[in-house]
A and B are shown apart, each in its own frame.
Chain A
Amino acid sequence: MNTSHIPVDTAPRPAAPTGVIHPVWVRVTHWLNALAAITMMLSGWRIYDASPIFASFMFPPSITLGGWLGGALQWHFAAMWLLVFNGIVYLALNLASGRFFHKFLPLSPRAILRDFIAALTGKLSHADLRQYNAVQKFAYLFIICDLVVLVLSGLAIWKSVQFPLLRDVMGGYDNARIVHFVAMSLLAAFIVVHLVMVALVPRSLLAMLRGR
C-alpha cells in the first residue's frame, strides 16, 4: 500500500504530548467492549445463517464463530453479559465524571460537515488526540446509540413475550430481527472506518493501549 499521499502525518508532530489522553477506565471499557461486540457479531452471523432474513444473503461459515447454531448461540448469550454490563459501567462513569459532556459536546451538523470536508482534503489536525474533532464526536456518539439499539432489538428478539412494550417499539418479533440486522451492519461499517482511521493515525492505537 502506498501511503505517501496520506496527509495525516504531514501535520507537525506535537512536542511530547503531556498528560493522559484516555483514563484507564476508558481504555479498559473500550477493549472489553471491542471483545464483546466482535464476539457477538461473529456468532450473530452464524445465528443469522440458520434462517437468513434475506434469502440471497448468507455469511461465509468460515468467518463466523461457534461452529454450529447451538455453539454460536452459546457465544452470543455469553458475550451479551459482558457487552451490557461493560456498557453500563462505561456510560455511568462517562456521565458521573462529566467526560461525556466535555468530550462529545457541543456538536452541530455544521461542525461535522466542516471537519468531514477538512478530513477529506487532508487539513484535519490530529496533533492533540485528547481533543475529538466533530466527525469523531459524531462517530462515537453514533456507535453508542447503535449499540443501545442492538441491545434493545436483541432483547425484543430473545424475550418477545416477556417484554411486550419493547416488542411493539421494534415493530413486532420479525421486524425486530431486521432492526437487529441493520444495527449490526452499521456496527460493522463503523468498525471498518474506525480501523482505517487507526491505521492512518497509529498514535491513536498507542493512546488507547497505554493512555498517552
Chain B
Amino acid sequence: MTYDPELMKPLSKPVTRPATKLDREAILIDARRELAMPSRRLFGKQLVTLGGLTMLTGCSLTDNDSVNKFLAAVSRLNDRAQAFIFDPKELAPTYSEAQITRPFPFNAYYSVDEVPHVDAADYRLQLSGLVTGQRTWTLPELYALPHAEQITRHICVEGWSAIGRWGGTPFGDFLKRVGADTSAKYVGFRCADDYYESIDMPTALHPQTLLTFEYDGERLPAKYGFPMKLRMPTKLGYKNPKHIVEIFVTNTFPGGYWVDQGYNWFGGS
C-alpha cells in the first residue's frame, strides 16, 4: 500500500551540455600525443566500440519488451525462492508500547481524504472459493472471535518502516473455522477501495498473521483500513490489504493491485 505518484512515471530529462570555449590547438596537440601511444589508441577504440554499441541499439533498456519479460520471469523465480526461505515458525520481532511510531503513517495508492467510507451496520464480509463453512459474516460476529494483539514493524517496499499495534483474530484459526481448504495455494482479498491482493497459504497460516479490527486499542479507523486489515509482519506493507470485503481461497493465481504492475508477488520480509 505504498504509492507515490512521482514514482509512477519514468523520468527522462534531456541532457544539456554547457557550451564552453575550447582551445582547439591545445586539444589537438594533446590528442596527437595520446594517439601516438599504441595502448592508448586501443583503449580509445574499445571505448568508441562500447559507446557505439549502446547508441546503435537506439532504445532504452527499461522499455525493451524482452527485457521486461525476463525481469518478470526472474521475479516469479524470486517468489519461489522466498517461499523456500520462508520459515512458518519464524516470528517477526515484537516491540514495547513505547516504541510505537506516532503518528503511524497513512499509506495507500490514494490520498487520506479519499479513504472509502464503509457502513458498519450494512457491512458483510463475504467468503468464497474453496470454503465449506459460514460464508457471510457481520462485524459483531467477527468481533466475537478469539482476540490477539501484536506490536510489530510495518516495512514498506519503499524502504521506510514504522512500528504499530494491531488487535484482531488469528487468521489461520479463522480460515479453519470457516472450513477453508488450507491445502490450497492462495488466499485472495477484494477491498472497498478497489484494492486487491493475494497471499500464499503458509503465510496465511503464520501465527502472527492477524485479521485485525483494532489499531492501538481503538476500533480500526478508516485511514488504517476500517472495518478490517489483514496484518502480516512477515510481508511488506503493500501485501497487507485494508477495507477487506471479500476473502477467497483458490488455486488460481489471483495477482494483486501492485503485483500486476510489477511489484514482486511474494513480497516477504
A residues lining the B interface (CB < 8 Å): 1-4, 9, 47-48, 50-51, 53, 61-62, 65-71, 73-75, 77-78, 81, 157-162, 164, 167, 173-174, 177, 199, 202-203, 205-206, 209
4 more contacts with CB within 8 A, not counting A2-B26, A74-B74, are A50-B2, A73-B264, A159-B268, A162-B90
Residues of A within 8 A of B62 (CB): 65-67, 71
With A68-B10, A70-B262 known as contacts, the answer to whether A3 contacts B153 (CB < 8 A) is: no
Q: Contact: A173 with B12, CB < 8 Å?
A: no
With A50-B7, A70-B262 known as contacts, the answer to whether A164 contacts B93 (CB < 8 A) is: yes
Q: Contact: B262 with A161, CB < 8 Å?
A: no
Q: Contact: A69 with B157, CB < 8 Å?
A: yes
Interface size of B by CB at 8 A reads 53
A29 to B153, CA, bound (A): 38
Interface residues of B in 6-22 (CB under 8 A from A): 7-13, 15
Residues of A within 8 A of B11 (CB): 61-62
A174 to B159, CA, bound (A): 8
Q: Contact: B269 with A159, CB < 8 Å?
A: yes
- 30 CB < 8 A contacts A-B: A2-B26, A2-B30, A4-B33, A50-B157, A61-B11, A65-B62, A68-B9, A68-B10, A69-B4, A69-B158, A70-B263, A71-B62, A74-B72, A74-B264, A77-B74, A78-B75, A158-B269, A161-B91, A161-B92, A161-B93, A162-B268, A164-B90, A167-B93, A173-B153, A174-B161, A202-B40, A203-B39, A205-B43, A205-B46, A206-B43
Residues of A within 8 A of B71 (CB): 71, 74-75, 78
Choose among B37, B46, B157 the residue that contacts A9 (Cβ–Cβ < 8 A). B37
Please classify the interface of chain A as helix (H, G, I), strand (E, B), loop, or mixed, using the class held by over half of its residues: helix
Q: Contact: B155 with A160, CB < 8 Å?
A: yes
Residues of A within 8 A of B261 (CB): 70
- Closest chain A CB from B118 CB (angstroms): 28
How many CB-defined contacts (below 8 Å) exist between A and B? 112
B56 at the interface (CB under 8 A from A): no
A203 to B43, CA, bound (A): 8
Q: Contact: B157 with A77, CB < 8 Å?
A: no
Interface residues of B in 21-50 (CB under 8 A from A): 26, 30, 33-34, 37, 39-40, 42-43, 46
Choose among B7, B75, B85, B153 the residue that contacts A68 (Cβ–Cβ < 8 A). B7
Residues of A within 8 A of B269 (CB): 158-162
Residues of B within 8 A of A61 (CB): 11, 13
